[in-house]
């Protein structure tokens, strides 16, 4: 093998390695809100279906113009489902709960700054709504596929702008739209959510 061929082969191998790393890199989504900006890093290697579902809504512009409609200081902030008129936005079909898979892979849990999918009492009902934990909420983690143990799937974490999340959590709340409580009295609107990496 000539030296030239060796370096060509080495260059190709390094290029392919770089491509593979780019393909498996953790995507990042920047949220611009009326309270400021924050960035979330997602973990498709731990929660592939949940991340792809979330990114589908990001790519579609679904979150643009939605509000944080449920804010509980010392618990979480929730958004992604309602516009500023408190009208629920249409969604795609719900996704399968990935809690057991995420736990088996040592994925993220419901700790300060992690993002998780909101759902109804049906564990397989998550669609577009998400929440960001503002404290360690261990009781929300998956423990078993039972009525009390399904938990909520965390699939990413705030990597910058946590001060904005903390600002949102301190927003005074009350009744708003169809909700009797926990609604920010000054709306916090998601102006845009875009993939930045």
Locate the domains of the chain by residue range. Answer: 25-195
Strand partners, 158: 40
* Beta strand extents in 96-188 (DSSP E only): 114-117, 130-133, 154-160, 173-176, 179-184
pLDDT tens for the chain, 197 residues: list them: 454 454 445 454 444 444 444 445 899 999 999 999 999 999 999 999 999 999 999 999 999 999 999 999 999 999 999 999 999 999 999 999 999 999 999 999 999 999 999 999 999 999 999 999 999 999 999 999 888 899 999 999 999 999 999 999 999 999 999 999 999 999 999 999 999 98
Q: Are 56 and 41 in contact (CB under 8 A)?
A: no
Match domain 25-195 to its CATH number in 2.40.100.10, 3.30.360.10, 2.60.120.10, 3.90.550.10: 2.40.100.10
The tokens for 173 are: 């709340």
Beta strand 114-117 with 66-72 is unpaired
Could you give the 3-state DSSP secondary structure of residue 67?
strand
């Amino acid at each position: 093998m000539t030296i030239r061929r060796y370096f060509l082969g080495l260059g190709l191998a390094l290029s392919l390695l770089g491509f593979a790393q780019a393909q498996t890199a953790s995507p990042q989504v920047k949220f611009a809100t009326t309270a400021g900006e924050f960035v979330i890093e997602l973990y498709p290697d731990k929660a592939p279906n949940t991340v792809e579902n979330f990114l589908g809504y990001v790519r579609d512009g679904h979150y643009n113009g939605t509000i944080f409609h449920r804010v509980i200081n010392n618990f979480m902030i929730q958004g992604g489902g309602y516009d500023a008129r408190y009208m629920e936005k249409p969604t795609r079909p719900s996704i399968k709960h990935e809690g057991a898979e995420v736990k088996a892979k040592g994925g993220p849990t419901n700790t300060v700054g992690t993002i998780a999918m909101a759902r109804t009492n049906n564990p397989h009902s998550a669609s577009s709504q998400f929440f960001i934990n503002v404290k360690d909420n261990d009781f929300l983690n998956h423990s078993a596929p039972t009525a009390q143990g399904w938990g909520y799937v965390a699939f990413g974490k705030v990597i910058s702008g946590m001060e904005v999340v903390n600002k949102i959590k301190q927003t005074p709340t009350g009744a708003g739209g169809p909700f009797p409580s926990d609604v920010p009295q000054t709306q916090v609107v998601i102006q845009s959510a875009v993939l930045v990496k």
